[in-house]
Every structure is written in structure tokens, then in C-alpha cells.
Amino acid sequence: MKNFQEEKQRDLSINKSDGTNKFLTTDQGLRINDDNNSLKAGERGPSLLEDFILREKITHFDHERIPERIVHARGSGAHGFFEVTTPIPELTKADFLKEKGLKTPVFTRFSTVAGSRGSTDLARDARGFAVKFYTQEGIYDLVANNIPVFFIQDAAKFPDLIHAVKPEPHNEIPQAASAHDTFWDFISLMPESMHMIMWVMSDRAIPRSYRMMEGFGVHTFRLINEQEESVFVKFHWKPKLGTHAVAWDEAQKISGKNPDFHRQDLWEAIEMGNFPEWELGVQVIPAADENKYEFDLLDPTKLVPEELVPVTIVGRMVLNKNPDNFFAETEQIAFHPGHIVPGIDFSNDPLLQGRLFSYTDTQLSRLGSPNFHEIPINRSVAPVHNNQRDGHMRQEINKGRVSYHPNSLGGGCPYQAKIEEGGFASFNERVDAHKVRERSESFNDHFGQAKLFFNSQTPEEKSHIVKALRFELGKVETTAIRVRVLGLLSQIDTTLAEKVALGLGATVPPILETPINKGVSPENEGGPQEPQTVESSVSSSDALSMIKNPTNSPTIASRKIAIICSDGVSEAAVLNMKKALKKEDAKGCIIAPHLGSVLTDADGAIAAEFSFLTASSVLFDAVYIPHGLGLNALAENDDLFEFLNDAYKHCKVIGADGEASEIISSAPFASKITNEDGGIVVNSAIASEEFAQDFINAMTQHRFWQREPNLYN
């Protein structure tokens, strides 16, 4: 079996450096004798220009920063591999998809979109999900998002969208947030964004972890087989851990407590050997079915419901190695949807077509040179030979006098590859048309799939969307913008619009008065481009809901559970729970009023990993208070009640056994607990394996959203 899994690591190893047991040197290799004092005229005198060691060090420091990505600046990545589980040679000649068991190295970077490099991981935003496959036929990049549709239909609107969502230009406020006037002004004039708006107002936009997100190629692509036959394809990543979110209040608190929450979660999971894993799926649409659906396959504001075309799993991706250096790898990696291999090709989606220009262009200013492909993390493991030459920071030393084609002096080399030799040829699509600046009428449905998405949500999920919209529009200062958005929402679901309006103290405008236009100018209202609602042929799709999602998994692997401890805690109870959690690959973390040790009832000591000052409930998935901690031990401790209050508010499992159950019955939320709330696991008996199992069983349901008041009902 061919296994290329380690090939990229071998390739990277030639650039790795480690200063252990080595002399400190200048960049020129000169050993440095004193790195603490600059060269001066006398010990109290001025520094000398001659000090080349000081100059080199400071000059390098002065130029350490490169421009951050214009979008997706904030991100985190890891190495891993992709393995074919079900080859599809009948659909694609792509080598890395053809053979069962074949492993291809990958580097995957997850990101938020709007925030700067140092912004919080927990912003309400789409997430980038970009995978670089180092295939034997060259680099293939699947530059995806965790949401299967996009805000706009045409690349021409992308700079406008991003200008609107980024901090406002006059005062650069707010950071990493769409809750402001310019974003919603733009959206209120762009009805085509409504489907995506439903997704970003849902909990998809506040994932629990990068490891618990789906990924979607968004656009329709093409697969091409050896016979040069083509099918359309949509790409899906399905996480092994299921698709999960945090609560919005929780997200905002995490942003303060640990803005690196997702970055750290990914890093720690990999360090602990809990390697994140996804399945790669394809929705295959025969070429003959191109015009079969009520939506246009080329319209990136539409998805193909899984009820119409099921997802077939073809492989799996495992991320199993953290980068050695964030800048060299995660920051310098350069993705491009135009990095493709034979067997994969583009569709005419006008958003994708624009992206094909943008990604190389942006690397020129971000990485500073057309030689960015030579940076180790971007370097192909397939050999690269061409007549591209020179430019800033060129690494390759091209031999010989020939740098053109055709040539005779170099024997015609490097020579072109025939198709059967792996030469890439674009799909031979017939295009016979007039040059026009127009949008196809088949793109005019702006509400049908927004409705499908909304109707597919559970009552709790609908309530979260209402809450998110109340928050976002509540931060908008211009009343007319709020009202315009309410008008658009009313075309998705009148109750949704009314419930949002209630929170804003506003009234939903009658549909006819809603300015719906193509966002160009108010004079352009109506006309042939009038947005329509085309009812979806699928009325509800479980795959669109996170709660009903078929990818959901009951596993609690890699989840973190806060175990509250204080002097007198039952040692048996703590050890029992830790053991039970470990069996599930979850981690119990000890939290106590102070760091150091707490004394147990068995005269032992347990080390506290966190104190109430350094940890918060929002950083954990559940809370357990072991037997031995009665009211006496903790009644004075407000921090504990704050901890529990947040856990309750964020619908997490709270467990207590023995006398610790008194703490729950005297917590401020005690009166709200109902018998139906399966997330409160109390047992007046003393710690038992059965109790630990009940606690774990409750955790497999992840969140008990029904605790919250439902804003949609």
C-alpha cells in the first residue's frame, strides 16, 4: 500500500532548526560572545554605529511582522493526513482519491473571518476550514467554511461585504463583530444574504470547538474521470465528534476569560493524543441533472439538501501533529481554491470565479513575493519545474541557460505532460454566449432556502436565532436599518420577524414597503431582478439543524469537566469520577478555592489545577461537586455559586452526590430546576460507579437547552 503520510514532514525537516546545545550566532554564523550589551564608547557612553550585531538583531526585529490576512486573519492549524476509505475512480481521476487506504499529508487551518489576528476565537462569525493536500500530483487546496452557503452571489460584492463587516473605518470599532450599523446596512440592502444570515445567526457561528464543526466547499465543483466525463460535486467534512456549539452568553464570557479558547482546544487535543477527525463526503450530481432543481447549482447562496442528494463518504482526515512554529507554518500557509489537481475542476459559480483571482493576488502583498510557493509549508511534494524565475527571496537555484519554452538549447525541457502523463487540462465545457454584466434569473430566489434552514431548526435553535438577531440588531443605532432587516426577516418567517421586533421595540413593516433591491441604489428597486421566494422542494432537513444533525455523536471524548474540590472532599468520589471520565477519554480538572493542595477526607491531598480565579465554568463542559463538600465547606464561597450559575444558565450538566447535593438545592437557580431537566444529576447516596455513569450519560446529551425561556414560542 502506498503511504505518503510522512512525505511532507520529511520535506519540512530540511528547513527545521534547533538551537539546543548550540552556540548563539549572528545570521551570518558568527559566534556571539555578549548578547546583553551593545557596543559603546565607554561603559556610560553612546552606542557605536559599528555594532553590526546590535543592528542585525534590531533590524530583524523591526521587520518581523507581515500584513495579516485581509479576511480570516485569526486562525489555527495542524498537520495530519487524509486517507481514502471509499475510492471513486469512476468519478475522478484525482490520484489522491483513487486507491483505498492511500494516505496523503495535509495541513488544515481553521479561522474566523472578520476579526484581526489577535481577536477572540469566539466571535459570532463563519469559520474557515482550509485543507492543503500535499498530493503526488501537486497541491490541492479545499478552502472551505463551516457554513455551506455564502452572503453574496457574485465576487464583485466581496470587497463591499468585507468593508461592511470589518470595524467601521472612522473609529475602527467594533473588533470581530458583525453587530454594527455598516454590516446590517449592507445586509438590509442585499436580500440574497438572507440564507447565510440564518446560518450566522444560528449556533453554527459559535462552535464549541474547531474539532466539532462541519466543513463545506460551498461552491459546486466538478469531478472528471479518466474518460473526461464530468459530474458536479459538493464537498462536505463531517466531524467524528459531532457538531456542537456554546451559548451566546457563554461565547462572550469565553472571549474575556480565554480568547484563545479554540486555538488552545485544538492544540491540547492533539498534544493529548485526542486526534480530531473528519470524514470527507461528496454530493454527486450527474451533469444531466444540472438544471433539475428549483435552485441553481452555480448559486453559492444555495445548498443541495441531503434529502435530494445524499452525502457519500470517500475518506477521512486526522489531524495528529501540531506545528513546530506558528509563523512559519500556520501564518505563512497560503491557500487557493485554484490549486487543483487533474480530476477536479471549477464550475462557473461567479463567486468561485472571482476567488480564483483573489488568492494568489493577496499572497503577493501578504507574503511579499511570487515565490511564496517556495516557503516550506507551501512547497509541493510533487516536483516543480518551470520557467518562472527570480523575484524577491527566490530560494531555488535554477541551472542552465534556458528559461523559456519552446527551446532547443535545453532539449525542450522541462517538457509538457500529455493528459495520460498527468498533464492538467481544463474540462472541455462548451461556452457560447454574449459578454454581459448580468445575473441569471435562476439566482433570484433569496428566501426559499432561508426558510428551509429556519424550518429545519428545533424550537430551541429557533429561539437562539431570535436572540442572536435581537442582539445584533439591538447594537445597530440606525432605526431604518433595523426596520429594513425586519422586513426581510418577515419574508422568511413572520413569527421570527415579530419576535425579533418585540425585542427591539419595533414593528415589522408590511412586505410591500420593504425596500428590496439588488443593493445597488434605491432607484434600482424592483424590475427584472426582483427577489423571489421559490419554495424549496424539501420542507425540512435534519442535516441543517445542529441538534437533529445525523453527524451528532454521543461521545464526550476530550470534553473537560470541572471537579470542584475543597478541604474535606471525598477522595473516593473524586477518584471514582476521574476514572469514569478517563474511560470515556474525557478529562476531569480539579478546581479549588486556591491553588496548591486540598486535603481529602482520607487525609490525602489532591492537587488543584485551577482556582476559581483562574478558571470559569465557561471553560468546561460540565461541573461535578463531589461528596464531602457540604454547605459548610463552601457556603461562603460566592465564586462557587457564580460558577454553578453560569453552568446552569449555559445548560450544562451539573452533578453532585452525597451531601454535596445540598449545594445544588441551595443554589440561586434551585427553584427553576424541573423534574424533566436531565442535566441536573444529584444523588443523595455516596459516590458510586452508577452515579458517575448517570453523570456521563447526561453529558452525552451535551446541552439542556430546554432550560432557557423559548423566545420563539
Cβ atoms 135, 383 nearer than 8 A? no
Binding to ligand HDE (CB under 6 A): which residues in 104-123?
109, 111
Locus of grid cell 440564507: 195
Q: Which of 44, 39, 74 is nearest to 56 (CA)?
A: 39
Which one among 12, 94, 122, 130 touches ligand HDE, defined by CB under 6 A? 130
Task: Give the nearer residue to ligand HDE in terms of CB position, either 75 or 305.
Answer: 75
User: Which residue's C-beta sits nearest to ligand HDE?
Assistant: 128
Residues 6+ apart with CB under 8 A from 319: 78, 79, 80, 106, 108, 266, 270, 275, 276, 277
The answer to whether 158 contacts ligand HDE (rule: CB under 6 A) is yes
Task: Give the nearer residue to ligand HDE in terms of CB position, either 295 or 712.
Answer: 295
Which one among 252, 274, 362, 701 touches ligand HDE, defined by CB under 6 A? 362
Name the segment binding ligand HDE (CB under 6 A); options: 143-151, 185-193, 201-209, 542-550.
143-151
Cβ atoms 580, 693 nearer than 8 A? yes
Pairing verdict, β 344-346 and 312-321: unpaired
The answer to whether 128 contacts ligand HDE (rule: CB under 6 A) is yes
If you write DSSP's letter for every residue of 292-320 in order, what string do you get? -SSS-TT-TT----TTTSPPEEEEEEEEE
- Over the window 189 to 228, marking each residue x when it contacts ligand HDE by CB under 6 A and - when it does not, the resulting string is -----------------------------x----------
Q: Is 72 a catalytic residue?
A: yes
The answer to whether 144 contacts ligand HDE (rule: CB under 6 A) is yes
The least distance separating ligand HDE from the CB of residue 121, rounded to whole angstroms, comes to 14
Name the segment binding ligand HDE (CB under 6 A); options: 93-101, 188-196, 348-356, 665-673.
348-356
Which letter does DSSP use for residue 236 in this model?
E
Which one among 359, 424, 471, 669 touches ligand HDE, defined by CB under 6 A? 359
Which one among 139, 155, 341, 481 touches ligand HDE, defined by CB under 6 A? 155
Task: Give the nearer residue to ligand HDE in terms of CB position, either 207 or 593.
Answer: 207
Q: Is 446 a catalytic residue?
A: no
The least distance separating ligand HDE from the CB of residue 40, rounded to whole angstroms, comes to 44
- SS3 labels along 567-578: CCECHHHHHHHH
Does the N-terminal peptide bond of residue 554 adopt cis geometry, omega within 30 degrees of 0? no
- SS3 labels along 9-62: HHHHHCCCCCCCCCCCECCCCCECCCCCCCCECCCCCCECCCCHHHHHHHHHHH
The answer to whether 150 contacts ligand HDE (rule: CB under 6 A) is yes
Task: Give the nearer residue to ligand HDE in terms of CB position, either 362 or 688.
Answer: 362
The answer to whether 143 contacts ligand HDE (rule: CB under 6 A) is yes
Does the N-terminal peptide bond of residue 310 adopt cis geometry, omega within 30 degrees of 0? no
- Over the window 302 to 341, marking each residue x when it contacts ligand HDE by CB under 6 A and - when it does not, the resulting string is --------------------------------xx------
Which one among 5, 12, 69, 612 touches ligand HDE, defined by CB under 6 A? 69
Cα(206)–Cα(261) distance, rounded to whole angstroms? 12
Residue 434: HSE in the Cβ half-sphere, 13 Å Cα cutoff: 5
Does the N-terminal peptide bond of residue 528 adopt cis geometry, omega within 30 degrees of 0? no
**Active-site residue identified among 15, 37, 63, 72:** 72
If you write DSSP's letter for every residue of 650-684 in order, what string do you get? TT-EEEEEGGGHHHHHTSTTGGG--TT-TTEEEES
Question: Residue 282 phi/psi, 5° resolution?
Answer: -130, 140
Cα(564)–Cα(559) distance, rounded to whole angstroms? 16
Which one among 72, 253, 649, 703 touches ligand HDE, defined by CB under 6 A? 72
**Active-site residue identified among 33, 63, 145, 594:** 145
The least distance separating ligand HDE from the CB of residue 152, rounded to whole angstroms, comes to 7
Which one among 139, 351, 663, 682 touches ligand HDE, defined by CB under 6 A? 351
Which one among 252, 320, 348, 358 touches ligand HDE, defined by CB under 6 A? 358
Task: Give the nearer residue to ligand HDE in terms of CB position, either 218 or 473.
Answer: 218
- SS3 of residue 403 by DSSP: coil
Cα(608)–Cα(658) distance, rounded to whole angstroms? 21
List of residues contacting ligand HDE (CB under 6 A): 69-72, 75, 109, 111, 128, 130, 143-145, 150, 155, 158, 218, 334-335, 351, 354-355, 358-359, 362
Catalytic (active-site) positions: 72, 145
